[in-house]
Amino acid sequence: MGGQGEAVADGQRRGAGARLRGRVALAARGTARRLDRTRWARHIRVLRVLWRVTRAFLPLWPWVLILGFSTVAGISAELLEPWLHQVFVNRVLLGRQVAVLPDILALYALAALVQWLAGTAVHWSFVQATERFSVRLRVHAYHHLRRLSLRGLRRLSTGEVTAALQQFGPDVGEGYLGLLQALLASLYRLPASLALMAQLNGPLLRWTLPILAIYPLYPLVTAGPLRRALSSLSLFDVYSQGVVNDRVAGLRALLHRLDAEGDSQALYALLWRRLRLRLRAFFVDRAGGLIDIAVHQGLTVCLLGLGGLAVLHGQMTVGGLLAFLEYVRGVEGPVRRLLHLPLGAQRVAVVAERVFQVVDAPPDVRRPRHGRPVRLQGAIQFRGVEVRGDDGGPILSGIDLGIPAGSFCAIVGGSGAGKSTLASLVARLMDPDAGCVLLDGVDAREYDLAALRAAVAVVPQDPVFFRESVLANVRLARPEASAAEVAAALRRARAEELLDGPRGEGRTLREAGGNLSGGQRQRLSLARMYLQDPTIVVLDEVTSALDPRLGRAVLDEILAWRGRRTVLLITHQPDLAARADLVAVLAAGRLQASGPPMRALSAYGRPAR
């Protein structure tokens, strides 16, 4: 009985082991299938990205065609040189036929001239194609970014956008065209060299081909680690460049922290991590390069031995052996490049994907296909407006507010109440997630977007300026305006002193208007508004940086538009709100009160003076 029990227990153990091995094998097969699917999905994604880059290059086909023809011409001239070496050695050095020397030298000079012309054409066409591609990509991305709403722009990191357009945009063009040129050069040089080697000595070529077949061991050994290392480096390049750009752009905010060692150490750690990734990719590549060196040296030794025997037996000339060895070196290069093309393609695809993420950001403000012409009187009505943040939380909720045409409406509320968001809806800088904004009784989304934004001027609290003259910065509101019209707008904004300059264009502004005071920036932004001459004006804390006397003068100038323009003033100052026809009080994204200033401001808890 004891023996039978042991046999049963042993059978149960064997059965459990078999079931465990079956489950492990099943899991391994499932994992392999998932890895295969992942690998194929990655390859398909790379091909899709490269096909998209190819389509972007199609308009540049003349330059790509010149590049291809020049590459082929240059390689042809290079392939002529070993043949000339053979003729020189066999006929001049060994055969003493000095009479052919001038012809050989003339052919050498011709080959050199063709190589120089072809190299110049290759470089010229490469620069033309890549720079034109980069310009087209940047302009397309810039126009696309201008179609985004404020929410869409906030989702994008300024640093990553700058890195994608300034650095990685050119990298995509240069990397892709470099791959294309390497593919063409390899596919032409490889069969041409093999054909010439067959002409020199067919049996020796048959011994050479099996040794050349060892070259694929190099990518087989290093492809996985090197691909992962280069992919990590490419992704981290995009991320780190974005972080560095963000830090540089926000440097002014850190000037008060003279002992900001933590910030410097964080940046140092970021760049040090990039160096480690780069070194990792370098060592993986160099470790695999041992196979490359071993194959090259082994091939050279074998060819010297076999070729020497062929020369001794009269089956090959000395010049023919030298030419054969040169053609072998010419074959090794194309084989290496062809084996490295998948890694190069993946690196181009990684960088291109990050650029396309910027270009493909969905425009959440849609342009109507046949927009209504804009002839506004200025009546505004918010009907059941709701706006949600990226996290789904409410920014505005259930806003119902009517503003008559030609009235002066003040929007007040605490920080984060949704005042600027409400004002941004009027110019369609964003669209509501629910409800609608009616302008003269028509949904704002039905108007032509460009014409609508020309009829609505938004004067932000922190205006944006570019590295151009005062005249050019004001003309952004209406590029066709004359210098006299710009000067008149500056006078109305009490900023005429900014137009002083050697050519009457005013001083050249630094980045973000860094050589202007806060009050000068606000007045320059008001001059843009006057030049635009809109029907609806949105003013966001427009007098916050002005002294009281100048602020009152600027506001009096704006109030002179009462009855002819609709003015929305976002303010925290009750005395300014008290001068409005209508006051809307926001609290936590909801309309707390609206109506005449006295009643609305009392509901806000701050009586008008």
> What CATH code is carried by the domain that includes residue 504?
3.40.50.300
pLDDT reported for residue 28: 46
Decide if 124 is inside a domain. yes
Same domain, 423 and 319: no
Same domain, 104 and 187: yes
Exposed/middle/buried for 385, CB within 10 Å: 0-12, 13-18, 19+?
buried
Same domain, 282 and 203: yes
Residue 406: which domain range?
Answer: 380-604
Q: Could you tell me the sign of the dihedral formed by the alpha carbons of 453, 456, 461, 465, in that order?
A: positive
Eight-state DSSP code of residue 381? E
Domain boundary among 329, 359, 389: 359
Decide if 483 is inside a domain. yes
Same domain, 472 and 561: yes
Buried b (16+ CB within 10 A) or exposed e, 591-607: bbbbeebeebbeebeee
pLDDT reported for residue 32: 43
pLDDT reported for residue 334: 83
pLDDT digits (tens, 9 = 90+) for 547-568: 677 777 777 777 777 778 888 8
pTM: 0.65
For residue 88, which of 317, 404, 407 has the smallest C-alpha distance? 317
Decide if 89 is inside a domain. yes
Decide if 2 is inside a domain. no
The Cβ of residue 171 has, within 10 Å, a number of other Cβ atoms equal to 21
Same domain, 354 and 479: no
Buried b (16+ CB within 10 A) or exposed e, 34-58: eeeeeeeeeeeebeebbeebeebbe
The alpha helices in 399-547, defined as continuous H runs, are 419-426, 449-455, 470-474, 483-492, 518-532
Same domain, 306 and 339: yes
Residue with tokens 């008149």: 488
Same domain, 301 and 410: no
Decide if 5 is inside a domain. no
Domain boundary among 325, 359, 393: 359
Structural domains counted in the chain? 2
CATH number at residue 218: 1.20.1560.10
Same domain, 300 and 418: no
Eight-state DSSP code of residue 89? I
Decide if 554 is inside a domain. yes
Same domain, 393 and 329: no
pLDDT reported for residue 27: 47
Same domain, 293 and 234: yes
Q: What span, in angstroms and rounded, lies between the C-alpha atoms of 356 and 359?
A: 5
Token digits of residue 424 = 């941004």
pLDDT reported for residue 250: 57
Decide if 36 is inside a domain. no
The Cβ of residue 579 has, within 10 Å, a number of other Cβ atoms equal to 16
User: Residues of the chain whose pLDDT is less than 50?
Assistant: 1-2, 8, 13, 20-21, 24, 26-36, 253, 255-259, 606-609
For residue 456, which of 420, 421, 427 has the smallest C-alpha distance? 427
Residues, the chain: 609
Measured at the CA of 251, the angle between CA 247 and CA 255, to 5 degrees, comes to 140
Decide if 8 is inside a domain. no
Same domain, 299 and 425: no
Same domain, 464 and 517: yes
pLDDT reported for residue 583: 87
For residue 524, which of 454, 471, 456 has the smallest C-alpha distance? 471
